[in-house]
Copies of this chain bind each other. A is one copy, B any other.
Amino acid sequence: MGKDVGVPKQVDHQERRQRIADAVCRLVARQGLEAVTLRHIAAEAGVSMGQVQHYFATKDEMLLFAFHAFIERSERRLIAAVTAAGPEPSPRSLLRHLTSLDEESRAEAPLWLAFLAGAAVQPRLAALQREGGTGMIDFLAAYIRQAQAAGRAPACLDPEREAVTLLALADGLMIAQLIGHVDAATALSAMDSQLDRIFPTD
């Protein structure tokens, strides 16, 4: 019986799934969740429909996997954007990133919004979203607390509340930009105004 599970027989299972998940993300970003069909995904990924079925038992499982992968990638990039800016991480880099001012995030805004809308209806998507979001809030709150300890932020602020505010504002500004209510400069100015309030010395 001693099966050595996990040993790839011929192809890298995980890599194939990821490649298909990427195709899902691309398609959702471009045409929304409704455009996700097995046939469209197969075409977008440049593989046969049978192959998609081979790596994902159902369409739902595929969507869930793609969403999870997307969230993980976003978090990784967010943290990288903050910590890679310098030895002393800057809140500006964090929130400029969140305000979707770089092209990479901008292109993914519709994707994020589509999954958000899906989460409003499908509990399983909402659960994934919750995990990701709280992680970011904790990260931000800890960062604010640290700034307070260093005297770079007013001690009277509630770190939790400010973290929630900043992230909510980032989401809202991203939406406003996406719809066309405001341009990037206005969004950035609004976010900067908030940051000045929290980190006056930067």
Enumerate chain A interface residues (CB-CB to B < 8 A): 30-34, 109-110, 113-114, 116-122, 126, 129-130, 133-134, 137, 160-161, 164-165, 167-173, 175-176, 178-182, 186-187, 189-190, 193-194, 197
Contacts and interface: CB of A to CB of B under 8 A. Distances in A.
Contact of A190 (B109, B120, B165): B165
B120 A176 contact: no
A39 to B, nearest CB: 17
A113 B114 contact: no
| 7 shortest interchain CB distances as A-B pairs | A168-B172, A172-B172, A117-B117, A110-B120, A32-B121, A171-B172, A133-B181
A119 B194 contact: no
* Interface of A (DSSP majority class): helix
A126 B32 CA distance: 14
B169 A168 contact: yes
A193 B102 CA distance: 29
A79 to B, nearest CB: 18
Contacts of A30: 121
B171 A117 contact: no
19 contacts: A31-B121, A33-B34, A34-B34, A113-B117, A114-B117, A114-B120, A114-B121, A117-B118, A126-B179, A133-B176, A133-B181, A134-B181, A161-B190, A164-B173, A165-B194, A168-B173, A168-B175, A171-B175, A172-B175
Which of A114, A129, A169, A176 neighbours the largest number of chain B CB atoms within 10 Å of its CB? A169
A32 B175 contact: no
B116 A120 contact: no
Contact of A113 (B120, B137, B182): B120
Contacts of A190: 161, 164-165, 168
